[in-house]
């Protein structure tokens, strides 16, 4: 009942966002258009526009996971799977609505919400691709992908190339940069100084574990089953 009402309100809000932004005015219009009781609508979206924007973001994450599960990934390298996931994520949303969201989450009072939303997307991607890491890599993978995703979104918002080809090329370059960093990190770990550091001060990082109840984390309920490939430590 509440989930249906929440979905109806969000659907009713979307046509108003290009004109009113993710705002209180948009929520008022959505309540009127959806027919949901105002009291229930306020309970479902207590912070108004910001909660609407976050709901739209989660909807995009869910659409990406569904599209990724329906894709044939068998012939793709792991880094190509990651690139495809981000591409599917951007194709699942309306650019003007995302632009309005970027403006909202650029405000200091909503910056933490925006960062959490991007982290949720990164977690959804890694979970959908079968990530099983438990140590510091659980965090580093999501932090790295969050940065790649955020940079790609900003580029995509200003991209007028046919079929957003420039955005996908930009994404490939960002992933290539991550790959170069991982190679450098591996080389560092293999030299005498690196081995000494990793055996000493950096050894404590191995004790950092992923959250115990990972099924309660954002994105954990949306992973498609059947993943049999063990992902590498980085893409």
| C-beta of residue 235 within 8 angstroms of C-beta of residue 82 | yes
Q: Residue 82 carries which DSSP code?
A: H
Specify the pTM: 0.82
pLDDT tens-digit series, residues 123-136: 999 999 998 888 78
pLDDT, mean of residues 143-150: 94
Question: By C-alpha distance, which of 54, 40, 53, 86 is closest to 67?
Answer: 86
DSSP 73: -
Q: Which of 112, 111, 61 lies closest to 90 in space, CA to CA?
A: 61
In Å, how far are 12, 26, 29, 54, 138 from 35, measured between CA atoms?
9, 14, 10, 21, 43
Residue with tokens 């709901």: 55
pLDDT at 208 over 80: no
List, for residues 75-123, the tens digit of each pLDDT value: 999 899 999 999 999 999 999 999 999 999 999 999 999 999 999 999 9
Say what the pLDDT of residue 193 is.
Answer: 61
Q: What is the DSSP letter of 220?
A: G
What is the C-alpha to C-alpha distance for residues 79 and 233, in angstroms, rounded to an integer? Answer: 11
**Alpha helices (H) along 35-135:** 38-44, 49-69, 78-91, 95-105, 111-128
On whether the CB atoms of residues 86 and 125 are closer than 8 A, the answer is yes
* The two three-digit tokens of residue 128, written as one number: 């959908």
Q: Is 228's pLDDT higher than 50?
A: no
- pLDDT grade, residue 225 (50/70/90)? very low
* pLDDT tens profile 154-203: 999 999 999 999 999 999 999 988 877 556 555 655 666 655 555 555 55
Q: Which of 87, 120, 148, 83 is nearest to 222 (CA)?
A: 120
Inter-CA distances, 104 with 18, 59, 77, 115, Å: 13, 17, 36, 12
Name every residue whose Cβ is closer than 8 Å to that of residue 107 and which is 6 or more positions away in sequence: none
């Amino acid at each position: 009942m509440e989930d249906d009402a929440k979905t109806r309100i969000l659907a009713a809000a979307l046509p108003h966002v290009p004109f009113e932004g993710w705002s209180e005015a948009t929520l008022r219009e959505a309540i009127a258009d959806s027919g949901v009781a105002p009291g229930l609508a306020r309970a479902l979206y207590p912070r108004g526009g910001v909660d609407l924007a976050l709901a739209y973001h989660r909807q995009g994450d869910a659409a990406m996971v569904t599209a990724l599960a329906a894709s044939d990934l068998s012939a793709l390298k792991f880094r190509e799977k990651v690139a495809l996931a981000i591409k599917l994520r951007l194709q699942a949303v309306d650019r003007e609505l995302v632009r309005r969201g970027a403006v909202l989450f650029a405000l200091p009072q909503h910056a933490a919400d925006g960062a959490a939303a991007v982290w949720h997307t990164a977690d959804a991607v890694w979970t959908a691709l079968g990530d099983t890491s438990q140590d510091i890599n659980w965090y580093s993978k999501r932090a790295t992908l969050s940065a790649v995703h955020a940079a790609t979104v900003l580029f995509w918002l200003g991209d007028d190339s046919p079929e957003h080809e420039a955005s996908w090329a930009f994404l490939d370059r960002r992933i290539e940069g991550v790959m170069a960093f991982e190679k450098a990190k591996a080389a560092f770990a293999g030299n005498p100084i690196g081995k000494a550091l990793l055996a000493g001060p950096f050894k404590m990082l191995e004790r950092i574990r992923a959250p115990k109840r990972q099924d309660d984390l954002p994105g954990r309920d949306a992973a498609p089953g059947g993943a049999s490939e063990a992902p590498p430590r980085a893409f």
